[in-house]
Chain A
Amino acid sequence: MLPLLGGAAVISNLGRNTYDLYAAGDRPQNFYMWGAMGCAVSVGLGLALARPALRVVVLDGDGSLLMNLGALATVAACRPPNLVEVLFDNGAYETTGGQPTHTTRGADLAAIARGAGIERVATASDLEGFARAIERALRDEGPWFVLARVEQATSFARAPRRPISVRDRFIDAIGPA
């Protein structure tokens, strides 16, 4: 996904996505979150509204999003065309020991996104499908919700936890409006 991003801003939710994003490609336009579980999509929404010419990609997790489902309705209500919410659904609270989330018990986050009013929803269960979905989401007007079913894994890379440095580096990288 990273080679397709160009200068897009990426917000990663706490846990696996922040660790994986850092390991896959640390770049100044990455905003790593280590807290405020559930809030990544809302941070992305605020940024997307403030900067309509900037593509904003949120990397989110099922455990996190389940905490803040109302945010999907707010995204749908605001309709920012430049927002892409990528939901990596591994069915687990990975960084607390792998306990299952409700997506293993029937919760379908893609259906919830549609039900919240988001029209552009794609689901991918393999890399090829994911690549196609991401290319569309980065190219076509959104807001997009792309759900990718993934396996649990143990990520060892840890981004240095420096929230204020991340803030400054990110703001400088995305520049003024």
Chain B
Amino acid sequence: MIAHVPDEVTSHLLQRLSADPAFTVVSCTREEEGVAVLAGGYLGGQKGALILQGSGVGNSLNALASLAVAYQLPMLLLVSERGRLGEFNPVQVPFGRALPRILDALGIQFFSISAPEEIDAVVGGASELAFSGLVPVALGLSTRLTGGKTLK
């Protein structure tokens, strides 16, 4: 199950996921919804991933803490980084630089991916950690990997 709020950087990935019948893709109005949707999906037996911009994690904190972490409901968070290398929007900076420490404070492990060669090993390892370790796990999609937003 894939929950997401639309984002330019991951739009190609979302298109492919939406076209693939193996995935249930839910477009949410707010990232917090997505955490809860995936929690429900996991209770129903479906593993899932939330695909979101870094700032969207800010919209998800209570659900992450008091639902995903508190009930140990695993999920992957694929976070396209904002407020980091190459950021053009000043208001994205405060949360973007805080994000790794916020996730750490919540006890959610965070692994950044900077190059295509890293994807298989990191995503595979993160999936194992999440669904066997029974914890949410966050993966940062660095602007070095994705090129960042082009629509400024």
Residues of A that sit less than 8 Å from B by CB: 11, 31, 33-40, 42-51, 54, 68, 70-71, 73-74, 77-78, 163-164, 166-167, 170-171, 174, 176-177
| Chain B count of residues within 8 A CB distance of the other chain | 33
Given contacts A34-B66, A36-B66, A43-B39, contact A164 B45 (CB under 8 A): no
Q: Is the CB of A70 within 8 A of B45?
A: no
Given contacts A34-B66, A35-B67, contact A45 B44 (CB under 8 A): no
- Cα-based distance from A42 to B21 in the complex (angstroms): 22
Q: Is the CB of A37 within 8 A of B44?
A: no
Q: Is the CB of B27 within 8 A of A46?
A: no
- Cα-based distance from A57 to B34 in the complex (angstroms): 19
Is the CB of B18 closer than 8 A to any CB of chain A?
A: no
- Cα-based distance from A92 to B37 in the complex (angstroms): 26
Is the CB of B70 closer than 8 A to any CB of chain A?
A: yes
Residues facing A in B33-72 (CB within 8 A) are 33-46, 48, 62-63, 65-67, 70-72
A-B CB proximity, top 7 nearest: A46-B40, A35-B66, A50-B44, A70-B29, A42-B36, A39-B36, A46-B37
Q: Is the CB of B33 within 8 A of A50?
A: no
- Cα-based distance from A38 to B67 in the complex (angstroms): 11
Q: Is the CB of A70 within 8 A of B35?
A: no
Residues of B that sit less than 8 Å from A by CB: 1, 3, 24, 26-30, 32-46, 48, 62-63, 65-67, 70-73
Q: Is the CB of A39 within 8 A of B32?
A: yes
Q: Which residues of A contact B27 (CB under 8 A)?
A: 74, 77
11 cross-chain CB contacts under 8 A: A33-B67, A35-B65, A39-B35, A40-B36, A42-B32, A42-B37, A42-B40, A43-B36, A43-B67, A46-B43, A74-B28
A33 nearest CB neighbor, chain B only: B67
Q: Which residues of B contact A48 (CB under 8 A)?
A: 40, 44
Q: Is the CB of B67 within 8 A of A39?
A: yes
